[in-house]
Amino acid sequence: MTAEIIIIATLASLACAIPGIFLLLKRMALISDAISHSILPGIVIGFLFRQSLNTPYPIVGAVLFAMVMVITVEALNRSALVKGDTAIAIVFPPLFSIGVVLVSLYANNVHLDTDAVLLGELAFAPFDRMMLFGHSLPKSLVKMAIILVMNLTIMLLLFKELKVSTFDPVLSRSLGFSPSLLHYLLMFITSVTAVGAFDSVGAILVLAFMITPTATALLLTNSLLVMVLITFAISSASSLLGVLLAIRIDSGISGAITTIMGLFFITAYLFSPTVGVVTKIRNKQRIALEYALSIVLYHLLHHCEEDDMETECSYGHLRLQFNYSPRYMRKVVHTGVRRGLIEQIGEVFHLTESGKETHVDTFRLHH
C-alpha cells in the first residue's frame, strides 16, 4: 500500500512539474493556481452528469472551465480596463465560488466534499481500484500515469518549440511556430494535469507541485535541460520523503510532500553554489574587497600625479573619500601593499609600477 501511494505521488508530482517548468519561465506561475481553482465547477457539473468521478465528463467539464478562465483573463487584459494580475485575481474566485455553491447545493447526494477537493487525500487512493491487463491497480495510479505519459510526449516532441516560445516569443513567431497555439496547448495540459491531480493532491497544492521543484531548479542552473532533470529529481525525492514523513507523524500526505519541496527550495536558496545566500555573502565579501581595492588604485592613479597629492593620497583622505570603516579601509590598503600594488612613502600612498599595470587591466575588464 505504501509503495502504491509513493508511486501515485511520484507520478502526480512529475506530471505537474512539466507544465510548471514552462509556466514559471513564462512568468505566469499563478495561472496554474487560478486554473486549479477554476476547474471546480466543471468537475462538479461533470460529476452530477453521471454521479461519478470516474467518467470522462468531469475532465471535459474541468478543461472547459479552465479554458473559459484563460480566455476571459486574456480578453480582460486586452481591454486594458484592468492591469497585470488583476484579471486573474477577479476571474478565478467567482468560478471557484460557483463550484463551492454547487457542492453545497447538492451536498446530500454528492460524494464530493470541499475538504477532499481542496486538500486532497492520497491515503485513500489505493482503495479505489480497477482491473487492467489482469492486474488490480488503483485508478489514480492509472490516471496519473496516462497524464504523465501525455505530458512527457508533448514535452519531448515540442521541446525545441516550447523552449524558443518561452524565452523569445518574437523569434518563435518569426520561425513559424505559433506562440498562441503553444500557449493554449500549455494551458490545456496544465488543466488536464490539474484535474488529474485534484483528488490526490488537492486544488491548492497543485500549484506547489507545479512550481516549487522548478523554482528550486531555477536557483541551481541556467540550462533548460538540466533544469528539467533537477526538477524531476526533486519531485521524485519529495514524493518519496513526503509520503514517509506523513506515515511517520500521521499527517496528510500532500502537505508533507509540499513541506519537503519547501525544504529543498530553502536549502537551494541558502546554499546554491551560484546564487545561494551563503555563497552570495562569501562572494560579496571577496568581490567587495577586490572592488574596493580597484577603486582605491584608481583614485591613486588619478590623483597622485597631481600637485594635490599630499592631501589626496594620505591615509586620512582615503578614509574620508570612501564610505568605508577605518578598519575596512586599513584592510583594503594592506591587501594592496601585500600584493605589491601600493607603497607607502611617509604619509602618502603611491602606486607601484605593477600597481599601475594591474589597474589598467582591471579597468579594461570593467569596460
Report the site for another protein in 99-138 (rule: CB under 8 A): 100-101, 104-105, 114-115, 118-119
Any bridge partners for residue 135, and if so which?
Answer: 132
Q: Least separation, in Å, of the C-beta of 152 and another protein?
A: 23
Decide if 194 contacts 62 (C-beta within 8 A): yes
- Which range touches another protein (CB under 8 A), out of 182-190, 224-232, 294-302, 337-345? 294-302
| From 17, 69, 195, 215, residue interacting with another protein (rule: CB under 8 A) | 215
- Which range touches another protein (CB under 8 A), out of 45-53, 167-175, 184-192, 298-306? 298-306
In the complex with another protein, the residue whose CB is nearer, 145 or 205, is: 205
| From 89, 226, 278, 281, residue interacting with another protein (rule: CB under 8 A) | 89
CA distance 309 to 3: 77
Q: Least separation, in Å, of the C-beta of 260 and another protein?
A: 9
Taking residues 187 to 206 in sequence order and writing x for each that binds another protein by CB under 8 A, - otherwise, the string is: -----------------xx-
Residue 182 has a CB neighbour count (10 Å cut-off) of: 20
Counting contacts by CB under 8 A, is residue 212 touching another protein? Answer: yes
| From 124, 184, 188, 322, residue interacting with another protein (rule: CB under 8 A) | 322
CA distance 84 to 258: 28
Burial 278-288 (b: 16+ CB within 10 A, else e): eeeeeeeeeee
All 3 cell numbers of residue 24?
A: 514559471
Considering only residues 6-25, where is the footprint of another protein by CB under 8 A?
24
Q: Least separation, in Å, of the C-beta of 318 and another protein?
A: 10
Give how far Cα 30 sits from Cα of 26, 139, 295, Å: 11, 29, 44
CA distance 136 to 134: 7
Counting contacts by CB under 8 A, is residue 261 touching another protein? Answer: yes
| 272 φψ region: left (φ > 0), alpha (ψ -120 to 50), beta (else) | beta
| From 74, 137, 142, 255, residue interacting with another protein (rule: CB under 8 A) | 255
Counting contacts by CB under 8 A, is residue 313 touching another protein? Answer: no
| From 259, 279, 335, 344, residue interacting with another protein (rule: CB under 8 A) | 259
The sign one gets for the Cα dihedral 315, 320, 322, 328 is positive
Counting contacts by CB under 8 A, is residue 325 touching another protein? Answer: no
CA distance 189 to 17: 11
In the complex with another protein, the residue whose CB is nearer, 144 or 211, is: 211
All 3 cell numbers of residue 39?
A: 476547474
Counting contacts by CB under 8 A, is residue 273 touching another protein? Answer: no
Counting contacts by CB under 8 A, is residue 274 touching another protein? Answer: no
Going by C-alpha positions, the residue among 97, 93, 103 that lies closest to residue 34 is 93
Coil vs helix vs strand at 291:
helix
Q: Least separation, in Å, of the C-beta of 153 and another protein?
A: 26
| From 1, 90, 132, 152, residue interacting with another protein (rule: CB under 8 A) | 90
| From 60, 64, 68, 98, residue interacting with another protein (rule: CB under 8 A) | 98
- Which range touches another protein (CB under 8 A), out of 134-142, 144-152, 171-179, 322-330? 322-330
Give how far Cα 20 sits from Cα of 107, 189, 218, 219, 317, Å: 33, 10, 12, 15, 55
Rg over alpha carbons for the chain, rounded to the nearest Å, is 29
Decide if 147 contacts 192 (C-beta within 8 A): yes
In the complex with another protein, the residue whose CB is nearer, 50 or 282, is: 282
What are the strands, taking DSSP E only, across 149-199?
none
Coil vs helix vs strand at 341:
coil
In the complex with another protein, the residue whose CB is nearer, 150 or 301, is: 301
Total of chain residues touching another protein, rule CB under 8 A: 73
Q: Least separation, in Å, of the C-beta of 137 and another protein?
A: 26
